[in-house]
A = this chain, B = another copy of it.
Amino acid sequence: MLESWNDTPTRTAIDDFVRLVTTDGPDFVPPEGRIATFDNDGTLWAEKPIPIQLDFTLYRMAEMAEANPGLQGEQPWKAAFEKDMKWLGDAMVKHYHGDDGDLGLLMGAVPKTIADLTVDDYHREVTEFFERADHPVLKRPYRQCGYQPMVELLRYLEGNGFTTYIASGGDRDFMRPIAGHIYGIPPERIIGSSQAIEYQETEDATDVLYKSEMEFFDDGPTKPTRIWSRIGRRPILAGGNSNGDIQMLRFARGPGRPALRLLVLHDDAEREFDYTAGAEDALARAAEKGWSVVSMKDDWTTVFA
């Protein structure tokens, strides 16, 4: 089942855990309790050099500035419209130097890029984006930037009675239109950040539309609460790759229950990217607590299908 995995201690840990919870004994978990939750950006698909959703957001901003020339002189629409990667890069550099002015402009504009769209409109926009958008460095369609070994892991777990969920800081409704295609995970099993929505009706029609504010930012300590809200159970297996996943990984161990925690390590500059920024605390905790680290270089025979 795990064709793209090398025969390593991490793969053994996965096999052992699945055997443990599916075999009669003190650690047996009935199928309804076999809940596995995975982060998305950097865990199931590539997140460098910029998160895929941010690329979509910049595309939407350019589209908005195209339709509304007044926005073409106003940041961050100006940078998106002019494809001014320097302004966007500098916003991050300023952020690291303690000046959040430009990053604040960018983040404040994100909800506006889908405000007043119906959920069906947004679904269509995202679907179209994934039909044509390519990864700028990997030079392959974004829809082919999911990690093949992780897709195999999802199928392996499901084949052993697990139910798999995505629990991501990324926008829930950005993942939903594409997650079936890439991961085989349906929309009701996508947990993520969410923009506030509201119901509207006319005499003949009903719709749900996005408001211009966030509802949940599903990262860090919010992940366990969103998982509980959506599933009503504690997972027994969780996978992540960054500090924002620590609480989810910890939450996967309930009192007196077995748990497997997987932490994807980006150490493969040749086939993907090599970075640990933003994952320092998670890696330290993994070492301390014996969580399983997934080395892309050592554990995977291939990264992308």
Interface residues of A (CB under 8 A from B): 32, 119, 163, 172-173, 176, 186-188, 190, 194, 197-199, 201, 205-206, 208, 221-225, 228-233, 247, 250-251, 253, 255
Contacts and interface: CB of A to CB of B under 8 A. Distances in A.
B173 A197 contact: no
Given A199-B247, A225-B198, A253 B190 contact: no
A289 B140 CA distance: 50
Given A163-B188, A188-B232, 6 more contacts: A119-B228, A172-B229, A187-B233, A206-B224, A206-B253, A208-B228
B194 A229 contact: yes
A199 B224 contact: yes
A230 to B, nearest CB: 7
B206 A225 contact: no
A198 B176 contact: no
> What is the oligomeric copy number?
2
11 contacts: A186-B232, A187-B232, A188-B188, A188-B232, A197-B225, A197-B229, A198-B221, A198-B225, A199-B222, A206-B247, A206-B250
Question: Which of A221, A224, A253: most chain B CB closer than 10 A?
Answer: A224
B230 A230 contact: yes
A206 B197 CA distance: 30
A93 B201 CA distance: 33
Given A205-B255, A232-B173, A250-B206, A199 B221 contact: yes
A228 B188 contact: no
Nearest to A32: B186
A225 to B, nearest CB: 5
Contacts of A172: 229, 232
A131 to B, nearest CB: 19
A225 B247 contact: no
Nearest to A205: B255
A229 B208 CA distance: 10
Contacts of A225: 197-199, 208
Contacts of A228: 119, 197, 208
Contacts of A190: 232
Nearest to A186: B32
A251 B118 CA distance: 13
A210 to B, nearest CB: 10
Instruction: For the complex of A and B, list the 3 residue pairs with the smallest distance between their C-beta atoms, beginning with the closest.
Output: A187-B232, A199-B221, A199-B224
A63 B229 CA distance: 26
A208 B224 contact: yes
Contacts of A176: 232
A176 B228 CA distance: 11
A255 B121 CA distance: 13
